[in-house]
Amino acid sequence: MGLFSSKSSNPALKEGTFQNLKQAEDSGKMTVRGTINKSVILLLISFAASLYLWNNMESLGGNVNVYSIGSAILGLVIAIIITFKKDWAPYLAPLYALVEGVFLGIISARFEAMYNGIALQAVILTFSVFIAMLFLYRTEVIKVTHRFRMMIFGATAGIGLVYIVSLVLSFFDIQVPYLHSNGLIGIGVSIFIVSIAALNLMLDFDLVEKGSKNGAPKYMEWYCSFALLVTVVWLYIEMLRLLSKLASKK
């Protein structure tokens, strides 16, 4: 399968991501190394923002929910803009990383208040999974085939639908069975979601590599770094949820 028929279940790295992009000159082409460097920059921005919010939670007082909801909404808006205006990624991707850092800092502090040490565990597990997925991709232990893409895309879409339904039902004090429970089935559901989030990284790695090989313009390094950050953030949040379920069983 070529680049222009590839599909990722990450909405930011979907089918057609590199379509209709002007082929760049050699000096302005997207590279894997450039994407890695920019991904590190975005991760550092998110980490710094998270750490700052974590250390200043008390100063927010009753505005914690405002910052939490506000950063979530703003992050979604920025993500939508970047998805449709890829050439804006060099300017908006760092802003997205900053906003996500604010959101993650608040969420992490809340989980940490309930279960001491859970945030650090989630960070370690998230980056361990990231490295493991990269190793499996580079060694082709798991090959990203068209069938593999379709399976992960379908599973991710299904998870997204369940979360949307869960959010809507929560307004009526109705919970989706097992999604938030800490029983064996609930833990199994979380493990499944974490696995799908991790496998999304394989699709992202594949599309980044193909974008580089097919001469995508330089700004796509920022776009793909943003897309990878989206997946990493999702994986980290799911790790927090899984670990909280396991911790509540003790």
Q: What is the pLDDT of residues 135-161, one digit of tens each?
A: 999 898 988 888 998 999 899 999 989
Total number of domains in the chain: 1
In a domain, 13, yes or no: no
Q: How far is CA 175 from the centre of its chain?
A: 24
Cβ-contact 6, 15 below 8 angstroms: yes
Of 191, 196, 156, 169, nearest in space to 12 by CA: 156
Q: What is the pLDDT of residue 8?
A: 45
In a domain, 1, yes or no: no
In a domain, 228, yes or no: yes
* DSSP annotation string for 136-159: HHHTTSS---HHHHHHHHHHHHHH
In a domain, 3, yes or no: no
In a domain, 129, yes or no: yes
In a domain, 213, yes or no: yes
In a domain, 136, yes or no: yes
39: containing domain:
22-248
- Locus of tokens 């190394």: 33
d(CA 175, CA 167): 9
**pLDDT of the chain, 250 residues: tens digit per residue:** 333 333 344 555 554 555 555 554 555 889 989 999 999 999 999 999 999 988 888 777 767 888 888 898 999 999 999 999 999 999 999 999 999 999 999 999 999 999 999 999 999 999 999 999 999 998 989 888 889 989 998 999 999 898 888 878 877 778 877 788 888 888 999 999 999 999 999 988 988 988 888 888 999 999 999 999 999 999 999 999 999 999 987 6
